[in-house]
Chain A
Amino acid sequence: EPEVTQTPSHQVTQMGQEVILRCVPISNHLYFYWYRQILGQKVEFLVSFYNNEISEKSEIFDDQFSVERPDGSNFTLKIRSTKLEDSAMYFCASSELRTQYFGPGTRLLVL
């Protein structure tokens, strides 16, 4: 069964450093998403991406975040200058239409 994959599974970084989180969505899906989940809290929407551009973003997705689909298979989330409060699980999701399928997540720890 096709699934969303994410790398790395864990990332530890120093405050102020840039990180890139990578995702390979399900191959025939057209819509891509990033969500985050701070430990013990709700899953929160960050951004959606369709037809090579951002279609929606939340207030969390400020100028330090960016997304890119650099080739036909990868979808990345970049955090330019990490803060302590960026520590969370980051989930990539993809969908053909409305139902979104999630990857296993990247656990980001900012020290």
Chain B
Amino acid sequence: EDQVTQSPEALRLQEGESSSLNCSYTVSGLRGLFWYRQDPGKGPEFLFTLYSAGEEKEKERLKATLTKKESFLHITAPKPEDSATYLCAVQAGNNNDMRFGAGTRLTVKP
């Protein structure tokens, strides 16, 4: 069965303290891996799509990378406004549906 596992469940950082979030997956025929940000009570906000191992995408303080088994979301010098839950999701096989991980709840203290 396809699995998406995110770690850690929660992460507390000081402002400016860089770190990485992990998303490991076991799927057959990965078509795409997606990162979203979700604020409390809101819908997932799209961040990145990665399609193949070795691919990297960057946006402001965030950088996403992909290997054959996992993806990392690197956060450089985070600010309090980066506090949110970060969700990883995969598409696999011939399906368009996405399977989500449980998310990493990031808190950045000033």
Question: Which residues from A are CB-within-8-Å of B43?
Answer: 4, 91, 102-105
A42-B44 in contact (CB<8A)? no
Total interface residues in chain A, CB < 8 Å: 26
In chain B between 85 and 101, which residues have their CB closer than 8 angstroms to a CB of chain A? 87, 89, 91, 95-101
Determine if B97 and A102 form an interchain contact, defined as CB atoms under 8 angstroms apart: no
- B93 to A: closest C-beta gap in Å: 10
Asked if residues A99 and B34 are in contact (CB atoms below 8 Å), the reply is yes
Residue of A nearest to B4 (CB): A42
Q: Which residues of B contact A (CB under 8 A)?
A: 31-32, 34, 36, 41-46, 49, 87, 89, 91, 95-103
Q: A31 touching B42 by the CB < 8 A rule?
A: no
Q: Which residue of B lies closest to A6 (CB)?
A: B43
Contact partners of A101 in chain B: CB under 8 A: 46
A99 touches B96 (CB 8 A): no
Minimum CB–CB distance from B10 to chain A (whole Å) comes to 13
Q: A42-B102, A43-B87, A98-B91 are in contact. Are A48 and B97 (CB under 8 A)?
A: yes
Centre residue among B45, B95, B98 by max chain A CB count within 10 A: B98
* Partner of B96 from A35, A43, A91, A98 at Cβ < 8 Å: A98
